[in-house]
Copies of this chain bind each other. A is one copy, B any other.
């Protein structure tokens, strides 16, 4: 029977780690004392096995379990359950990584566009993509649409709603999406570009699926969704069955420090259908280290049989001045997202947006020079 290899970082004394690892294997498979397992099928196939233990230091160990893929049944929620259901309640256990069998991934949505698909839509191949953010929430629909228009004139590839924009009375989803999409189309007619608008989709399944219908009706070009906020099972169903455009994953509520960000954002969000993955970049408002950010980007882009690459989108307090450094760090396979700093330009928003876009183009050219 095919197995998923799941790696945890476990805090335990060296003398105890073998017993602790065995308990973990019970907890994440049969969830009973060992002596309750009397059935041969359960013992041979369902029971988790300790595959390896590697000590990191006196206190921390990397434990890899082999868990039966059949217990996960190709379902998102059940996969999370088997990876980290009860053990998430154990303070000494962190979920670090998982390796899935080749035939496992076909159960899930996976990126439908991926990096290549996004590039084709934006007609941009030899440079990082660029992204701006519509905010603050509380502005009326007309003000948001006007911002959209100016960002698009400035030439960014993608304009995303602030993830705080939902279906509030002051800028209802339907009216906002219609107005912003029209504003972007108007700018596109003037510039000849194909800037995409990605509205923020938030809600329960019924609302999300209604929002997806509106996106289709209006011909909206992308969608922004926070998988941890709406729930990963809904996210996957939304992507697989309701959205026909690239999906940008937002990290809101994903900051459960107990799941390694590179695994959660870079691998799971990708497996479940994100074409691009936003994450808090180092040196901004958030405390992720450069190494952690590189690991997220690496996981999002790494070759994975049957699963398209997803575009890394470092964000959170980025500025135009940092563009050369960011391109130096991530190369061209990235989308740079600048939010508040473009908005701070006030009336000069379009000019600063254009500076951003041009700076990216220049840095990219330098990078591909011999």
Question: Chain A interface (Cβ within 8 Å of chain B)?
Answer: 23, 27, 29-33, 35-39, 41-42, 45-47, 70-71, 73, 75-78, 80-82, 84-92, 135-139, 143, 162-164, 166-170, 202-207, 226, 228-234, 236-237, 241, 251-258, 280, 285-288, 316, 339-341, 343-344, 346
Contacts and interface: CB of A to CB of B under 8 A. Distances in A.
Contact of A258 (B46, B233, B255): B255
A71 B137 contact: yes
A30 B133 CA distance: 12
A35 B344 contact: yes
A88 to B, nearest CB: 3
Contacts of A232: 231
B73 A31 contact: no
Which are the 5 A-B pairs with shortest beta-carbon distances? A231-B231, A88-B255, A46-B138, A256-B256, A30-B136
Given A77-B202, A90-B286, A90-B287, 20 more contacts: A27-B285, A30-B137, A31-B137, A31-B163, A32-B343, A47-B138, A70-B168, A77-B204, A77-B229, A78-B202, A81-B164, A88-B228, A88-B252, A89-B251, A205-B205, A205-B234, A231-B232, A233-B234, A257-B257, A257-B258
Contacts of A39: 136, 138-139, 143
B81 A229 contact: yes
A31 B90 contact: no
Given A89-B254, A202-B75, A205-B205, A339 B136 contact: no
A65 to B, nearest CB: 14
Contacts of A286: 89-90
Contacts of A41: 138, 170
Given A70-B168, A252-B86, A252-B88, A42 B138 contact: yes
A301 B233 CA distance: 30
Nearest to A233: B204
